[in-house]
Amino acid sequence: MRPFLALAFLATAAVAAASEGAAGHGEGIPWAAIFKQAVNFAILAGALVYFLKKPISSFLKERSEQLRKSIEDAARAREEAAGKLAAIESRMARLSDEIAGMNRKMEAEAAEEAQRIREAAQAEIERVRTQAQFAADQEVKKAREELRKEAAGLATRAAEEIVKKTLTAEDQERLVRENIEKIREIAQ
């Protein structure tokens, strides 16, 4: 709130000075207007210094701390890089031995992998063979079952045809009466 009041005061002073300066357009150097502007500038500069001294000093302090930290980080990174360079140079000296060892290791791993692939392929062949045999057995069972169902259906249709041809109206009436009697007996 305090900075706002100071700025409002400065703005009012600047407007008053500008309105007085506009009224007097005389000849010569307007020392009064220059003096008013200098006073206004001094007030503005003083207010800015008063209000901005703490934020600017804290900003500069933070900035110098950041720069110091960046310099320390860069020095630390340089030391780490030098250590890594020394490790790389020593490793480069042993590189031919490492390459020969890696080649031997890769050849052994390749032989092991080839054997593992052969074994896996054989196991897969057996699994597929077993599945194929099982599927064939299932298909045979399914075909037999379908044949049985079809034969039963044909036998049922043939029996229906025979019954339709041999069953008379009297036989139907007698069967209905017998079934009604059985239902009455069960119901009681």
Could you tell me how many residues make up the chain? 188
Instruction: Please give the Cα distance from 188 to 185 (Å, whole number).
Output: 5
With the C-alpha atoms ordered 9, 14, 17, 19, is the resulting torsion angle positive or negative? negative
CA distance 50 to 3: 9
Which are the contacts of 21, defined by CB distance < 8 A and separation ≥ 6? 30, 33, 36, 37
Asked whether the predicted pLDDT for residue 70 surpasses 70, the reply is yes
DSSP state of 1: -
Q: Residue 91: which pLDDT band, with cuts at 50, 70 and 90?
A: confident
Distance CA 13, CA 7 (A): 10
Which pLDDT tens digit goes with each residue over 24-52? 555 788 999 999 999 999 999 999 888 88
Sign for the pseudo-dihedral over CA of 103, 109, 110, 111: positive
Give the distance, in angstroms, between the CA of residue 161 and the centroid of all CA atoms in the same chain: 71
**Pairwise pLDDT comparison (4 vs 76), residue with the higher score:** 76
Contacts of 14 (CB under 8 A, 6+ apart): 40, 44
How far is residue 183's CA from residue 29's CA, in Å, rounded to a whole number?
136
With a pLDDT cut of 90, the percent of the chain lying above it is 35
Contact 11/43 with Cβ under 8 angstroms? no
pTM: 0.30
Residue 49 has a pLDDT of 87
Q: What is the dihedral of CA 113, 118, 122, 123, to 10 degrees?
A: 0
